Structure 1
Amino acid sequence: MPDYDVVVIGGGIGGLSTAALCQKAGMKTLVLEQSDRIGGCCSTYEVNGFNFDVGASVVEMPGAFEELFRRLGMDREKYIPFVEVDPIYDYCDISRGVRFSYPTSVEGTAEVIARFAPEEAKAFLDFAKKFTPIIAGLVDSFFYVPCMSFLDSIKLVIRYPQMIKVLPMFVTTHQKVVAKYFKNEDVQASMAFQSFYGGMPPDLCAGLYAIIGLLEHEGIYYPPGGMIRIPAGIQQAFEDLGGETRFDARVVRVMVEDRAAKGVELWDGTEITSRNVVSSINAKQLYMEMIGREHIPWHVWRGIRSMELSMPCPMIYLGVDYEPPLVAHHTLNLTSAQVMNDYWSDYYLKGKLYEVNGKPEIMGLISWASKIDPSLAPQGKHVLTHMGLAPYNLAGDDWDRLKERYIDEAIATIERNIIPDLSKHVIYRDMATPKDLERMLLHPAGAVYGIQTDISHMAVFRPANRSKAIRNLYLAGASTHPGGGIPGVLAGGIITGGLVTKDNG
């Protein structure tokens, strides 16, 4: 008799949400987390009284959490409280010094745009008027429904006919969608940067990501206590239902017999048998390292090998001794959409850092979490994190050697454009390089978004939530449908949990 009905590899949001739904259905479920901390990229760690979010820094689409806890029959607020973040972000163009903030209100954002691009204010309102009414239906029909075959895709359209209006977004790029509605360079840049939430530049990321800008106007939230509050809340709900979580339990092999998953083997040699195995780790890593070529048909293996990993996101963690002169939880330190696209081809793919006039400019997203929750830092002090854009493989250099210099260059970039004299107030500094993320979180090449999100890796072309090659094997997490980011991973966990419980009902 198997030890468990379900074993889940990985204690991230995708794995935990799947596990909670399986446990709710009466299935004996175990979550195995390789580290000593829950959440993976969506977590928080403490040092010297400063609490830093590892990666993820806000919550979009809070409805995904309501949907999960509705299915669990539990109160979301009890397990994961949220505080609204407004303004959404402060945008700073590092090349021209342009700066403005977008509030949550659609009308308020149009007013901001009207100050520097009057003709685009109406365009923004028209964009919002066209897509806001169909967002809810799109989320319900696309985010919580499996998309494992072309038949599934057809069913999605039949179920929600208005989806025809957004189908062109599946076969075009983020940049083309934005450029269709907006002509001003600054507005384009402020609408295009969200492509990097999917780990791709605007001209390669799937067009569907263009509506993220509108989803943000539905509300942005932060959990008091840090982003770890999210996975910890789901873990608590899972354990309240009778589930079990083990830490420092690294899985090295999925046990397969006759192309069916039978359990897992841990780093120390322990074998745990299970009727079903759910993996929330990188799909490419799962199939190539934990299962192996001998168990997978040649055509599936070929497809797995062809999958491209997402970009990594170098993270800088700063503790400062004062209240920084910022106005928003998020500050974007970026530039035009065209430069972001050129950065990818001229720098990223060549293993280089972005430069202006021969000097590094470290673009990225600054998060000021202690603005919302002062308890994250000692009294009178604050925490800042910086999520950057840089390749895993560096031409002629190594991340372990570059680390301190990269922090210096990032601080210098911020000082030039946003926070003068920042370096004088930094009393703690650290960084998680792409290599560090690979070591800590076991993300291959530091790929925090799993598989990239261009057109060839969306929907039916992503690794399926129910494996097509191995019976009793399921996938959750950023690598599978609908994709990376907190709402995408949570929705994927809901989908996978539904598949496991249905198949075992």
Structure 2
Amino acid sequence: MVVKNFYDNVVIGGGLTGLTGAVYLSKAGKSVLVIEKERQLGGLARTTKVNGAYFNLGPHAMYEGGAALEILRDLECVPRGGYASKKGMSGIYGNQVIHVPKNLSLEESQEWMKVMGTLSEVKTDSLYSVSIREWAEKNIDYERVRDLFYAMCRQWSYCMDLSEISSGFVIEQGKLAAKGVRYVEGGWQKVVNDLRKKAEHFGATISTGIRAEQIHLKEDAVKGVILSNEKFVQANSVITAIGPTELCELVQGYEHMSIGKWKEMSHPLYGSCLDVALRKVPDPTCVFALSLDEPFYFSNHSVSVQLSDDGSHVLHVMKYNGSNNLSEVEMDERRLRELLNLLQPGWENEVVAVRFLPNQLIAYDSRSVMNHGVGIAPGPIVPEIRGLFVAGDWVGRRGRLADAAMDSAREAAKDAINFN
């Protein structure tokens, strides 16, 4: 791919965020260059094929009513998929499986149904500075019901510290999950590939295997980007679709800017995940389970979509590590295997493929009480630098993960179009 010397817009990062921004920019008639440091596009949405099974980087899903599906529909890029089953769940406590609501007392079952059934009615405007633990302690009487609710909150937020996470934010995520959790058939790389095709259709240039070394500024305005091959690309504006720490590495003097503040405020979230493909599932009735006393998750996504070439089933077992990217690797893998042994005894006899991801980055920031449940960057505009815009799951107010990333990319593209 030939890279020209000038573009209206340079987008740094070729994941869902960067490609979304590139589509909107190029669709508006702007000349666009997307730079991706890896050889493969996709970022956290990459899919790897292992022995015929399609593994995302851990469990991935879209929420019906969320920004990701809204944008993909707008761009005519909605992938084939299916929805997660709503037929109950299993809880795990002290190495025992609790079937919900069958193994709850009558009073516990009634309260659980009330909590989940009325979640959509909860007004969250005043709850963004209240932790989800504080909210639950005031609104849920039975301890086991609270533990079940906390397990759901960890799944909705990917955060294990329930005293840190904003209840307003988590409850809004729960409302979206109730509308439908959609898995992508064949893995999320299909979404990445469709966005790439759409961007290139409108004229965007996409360059992989090359990194941005510096965003060149003059008189507090963007002038272009210096690439790792020492080429200088002039540009009117730049959208960064990377994390705050990576961004600061590209901007001289960031310590005195908002981006430096955002870097210091960020609390990335990590998780360890065991991805497994099986010829057959030992217990097909066990589809979804959450640990009540530990931050563990299990799901069989192949109940809803095809994720292999030969009909094998893809299952995910995950541990939420919070902001700790130094969680003990061997212990995490052993605990995840033990959990799978409990839920799917004999699974090792059916293995097609296994992959363990230790301390995988999930999100660049949690939506904390301290930041009132919103992204550390309030919006795409970097106030100190004309023509520099940010996008990602750490930007803006709406949603999280793919929803936040794609929504902020759309907003960043609008701002860049108006700037140019």
TM-score by length of 2: 0.86
AA of the residue aligned to 1:125? G
The answer to whether 1:450 aligns with 2:364 is: yes
Mark the CA change 1:127 to 1:383 in structure 2 (over 3 Å): closer, same or farther: closer
Cα offset for 1:470? 1.9
**What residue is the counterpart of 2:310 in the other structure?**
378
The answer to whether 1:181 aligns with 2:142 is: no
Whole-angstrom CA distance in 2 between matches of 1:237 and 1:485: 22
**What residue is the counterpart of 2:193 in the other structure?**
232
Secondary structure of the residue aligned to 1:171 is coil
**What residue is the counterpart of 2:18 in the other structure?**
15
**What residue is the counterpart of 1:389 in the other structure?**
320
Cα offset for 1:461? 4.5
The answer to whether the Cα contact below 8 Å between 1:13 and 1:39 also exists between their aligned partners in 2 is yes
Mark the CA change 1:306 to 1:63 in structure 2 (over 3 Å): closer, same or farther: closer
Whole-angstrom CA distance in 2 between matches of 1:126 and 1:114: 18
1:216 to 174, 177, 188: 177
Cα offset for 1:488? 1.9
- Please list the CA deviations of residues 41-95 of structure 1 after superposition, one character each: whole Å capped at 9, or x if unmatched: 1221102212111134211134524542565xx4344xx2332222277332232
Cα offset for 1:333? 3.5
Secondary structure of the residue aligned to 1:11 is coil
The answer to whether the Cα contact below 8 Å between 1:191 and 1:213 also exists between their aligned partners in 2 is no
Cα offset for 1:255? 1.9
**What residue is the counterpart of 1:85 in the other structure?**
84
AA of the residue aligned to 1:75? E
**What residue is the counterpart of 1:334 in the other structure?**
291
Mark the CA change 1:119 to 1:317 in structure 2 (over 3 Å): closer, same or farther: closer
The answer to whether the Cα contact below 8 Å between 2:67 and 2:406 also exists between their aligned partners in 1 is yes
Of 306-315 and 202-211, deviating more is: 306-315
Aligned-residue CA RMSD in angstroms?
Answer: 3.0
The answer to whether the Cα contact below 8 Å between 1:18 and 1:494 also exists between their aligned partners in 2 is yes
| Identity score, percent | 18
Whole-angstrom CA distance in 2 between matches of 1:198 and 1:408: 21
Whole-angstrom CA distance in 2 between matches of 1:460 and 1:122: 30
**What residue is the counterpart of 1:494 in the other structure?**
410
2:301 to 369, 372, 394: 369
Mark the CA change 1:498 to 1:185 in structure 2 (over 3 Å): closer, same or farther: farther
Cα offset for 1:26? 1.0
Q: Which has the higher helix share?
A: 1
The answer to whether the Cα contact below 8 Å between 1:282 and 1:451 also exists between their aligned partners in 2 is no
**What residue is the counterpart of 1:459 in the other structure?**
374
1:266 to 207, 223, 227: 227
Of 51-60 and 303-312, deviating more is: 303-312
- Please list the CA deviations of residues 14-33 of structure 1 after superposition, one character each: whole Å capped at 9, or x if unmatched: 22211111111111112222
Cα offset for 1:460? 7.0
Whole-angstrom CA distance in 1 between matches of 2:68 and 2:332: 36
Structure 1 gap ranges (5+): 103-108, 132-164, 341-362, 438-445
The answer to whether the Cα contact below 8 Å between 2:367 and 2:375 also exists between their aligned partners in 1 is no
The answer to whether the Cα contact below 8 Å between 2:11 and 2:18 also exists between their aligned partners in 1 is yes
The answer to whether 1:291 aligns with 2:251 is: yes
The answer to whether the Cα contact below 8 Å between 2:238 and 2:388 also exists between their aligned partners in 1 is yes
Mark the CA change 1:19 to 1:189 in structure 2 (over 3 Å): closer, same or farther: farther
Whole-angstrom CA distance in 1 between matches of 2:59 and 2:416: 27
Secondary structure of the residue aligned to 1:315 is strand
Whole-angstrom CA distance in 2 between matches of 1:14 and 1:320: 32
AA of the residue aligned to 2:419? D
AA of the residue aligned to 2:403? P
Q: Which runs of 4+ in 1 moved over 6 A?
A: 112-115
- Please list the CA deviations of residues 388-407 of structure 1 after superposition, one character each: whole Å capped at 9, or x if unmatched: 2233125xx6x4xx3xx642
Whole-angstrom CA distance in 2 between matches of 1:456 and 1:50: 41
**What residue is the counterpart of 2:269 in the other structure?**
311
**What residue is the counterpart of 2:76 in the other structure?**
75
**What residue is the counterpart of 1:414 in the other structure?**
340
The answer to whether the Cα contact below 8 Å between 2:259 and 2:382 also exists between their aligned partners in 1 is no
- Please list the CA deviations of residues 213-252 of structure 1 after superposition, one character each: whole Å capped at 9, or x if unmatched: 2211111112211122222222222222222222222223
Whole-angstrom CA distance in 2 between matches of 1:307 and 1:469: 18
Whole-angstrom CA distance in 1 between matches of 2:145 and 2:239: 42
**What residue is the counterpart of 1:203 in the other structure?**
163
Cα offset for 1:317? 2.2
Query: 1:471-482 to 2 correspondence within 5 Å?
Result: 471-482=386-397
Whole-angstrom CA distance in 2 between matches of 1:409 and 1:247: 37
The answer to whether the Cα contact below 8 Å between 2:281 and 2:347 also exists between their aligned partners in 1 is no
AA of the residue aligned to 2:37? Q
Mark the CA change 1:68 to 1:88 in structure 2 (over 3 Å): closer, same or farther: farther
- Please list the CA deviations of residues 85-122 of structure 1 after superposition, one character each: whole Å capped at 9, or x if unmatched: 222773322326353469xxxxxx9xx99685224433
Cα offset for 1:311? 2.2
AA of the residue aligned to 1:407? E
AA of the residue aligned to 2:7? Y
1:192 to 129, 134, 150: 150
Secondary structure of the residue aligned to 1:41 is helix
**What residue is the counterpart of 1:431 in the other structure?**
356
- Please list the CA deviations of residues 182-223 of structure 1 after superposition, one character each: whole Å capped at 9, or x if unmatched: 223343333333345253522110122123222111111122
**What residue is the counterpart of 1:95 in the other structure?**
94
Mark the CA change 1:423 to 1:499 in structure 2 (over 3 Å): closer, same or farther: same
Mark the CA change 1:101 to 1:502 in structure 2 (over 3 Å): closer, same or farther: farther
Whole-angstrom CA distance in 2 between matches of 1:201 and 1:276: 38
1:26 to 5, 12, 29: 29
AA of the residue aligned to 2:356? M
